[in-house]
Amino acid sequence: MPTETQTAVRDAVRSFAQEQIRPNSMAYEAAGGYPPALFAELAELGLMGMTAPEAVGGAGLDYGSYALALIELAAADGALSTIVSIQNSLIVTGLLKDGTPEQQARFLPDLVAGRMIGAFALTESDAGSDAAAMRTRARKVDGGYRLDGAKQFITSGKIAGLAVVYAVTDPTAGRRGITGFLVPTDRPGYSVDKVEHKLGQAASDTCAIRFDDLFLEDDLRLGAEGAGYGIALSNLEAGRIGIAAQSVGMAQAALDIAVAYAKDRRSFGQAIIQHQAVGFRLASLATSLEAARHLVLAAAAAKDAGEPCLTLASMAKLFASETAETVVSGAIQTLGGYGYLEEYGLAKIYRDVRVCQIYEGTSDIQRLVIARSL
């Protein structure tokens, strides 16, 4: 059961998300983005640095609170929850874990205050889950590095003020030749090649970005040279918990729409939820969703306890993301033709939730991680 603090966080985020975000979700999708002031409002709730200590402006909360908050945010707007998930789990957490005190002092205040959005740049067109195939290069020069290459499928690549970029510093060393860098996006040499036109989550930009002879001082290297692969993988624990949580949130929103409709819609003299075909469908969906929720919270609890939880996080992401698509599809089926119409909201959720089985490790990669641990 959630603690008193976790319950208070969940309820506060639910109230804000349902009152301020959900009514505008379709407008954000049509506009292809969010007003910058919204990120500041999220920061006031502590959502842009939930697990960051209060000393750097964060909320100082646990991962259980983070997962519950992300569920509520995703129930209002899936794309916004993606931006917030990456901001917390990959950018802020990465800086806290591997950044120097100087790097933390330079970037964390703006990140947790919502004045700066972060992007996580690991994937390339030919190097997704196989990070060792990376082609982006960081060449050592006097006083720093010269960065050249391209990244693909980068969330917030257009709006980000800081990109955490992984590049090869030693082509002969395989995975041990990858290094992380903190790249301010206003540097000469950083460019957005393309903003992708996607099936869903249109309000969260996904970009192809390029680095052309971009100079980075030595103090913008994240961690030791050659430690980038390990840094990236270690941050994916929290990242996968975040994607699992947003999957639950979007699925819950869809199930709520379906249940409300099934109680209101009458057929053959009674509400359709009283017809066994409909009631049993919703019962099965609700059961699967509750199992997914508990798996997400179990992974978050393990993270809070300081236990290795990559396998549990992978289980949570795998089960929650695949369950979410099933739940949303079942919700559409419950509404019949109305479920296929934009005005009922399920079509948008269906578009938004599908990518949860792809980013931050596909379902196949999650199964690979889990199988290796058995």
Annotated active-site positions, please?
A: 360
**Count of beta carbons in the 10 Å neighbourhood of residue 145:** 22
Pairing of strands 206-217, 190-195: antiparallel
Torsion of CA 103, 107, 113, 118, to 10 degrees: -120
**Tokens 């918990």 sit on residue:** 241
Distance CA 369, CA 374 (A): 9
The answer to whether the beta carbons of residues 227 and 202 sit under 8 Å apart is no
* 176 DSSP 8-state letter: G
HSE on the CB side for 86, CA within 13 Å? 26
- Residues in a beta bridge with 139: 146
Helix (H, G, I), strand (E, B) or coil at 227: coil
Up-side HSE of residue 293: CA atoms within 13 Å toward CB?
A: 19
Q: At 295, phi and psi to the nearest 5?
A: -65, -40
b/e code 155-192 from CB counts within 10 Å (16+ = b): bbbbbbbbbbbbbbbeeeeeebbbbbbbbbbeeeebeb
- Residues 6 or more apart whose CB falls under 8 angstroms from that of 151 comprise 121, 122, 123, 124, 136, 157, 165, 208, 209, 210
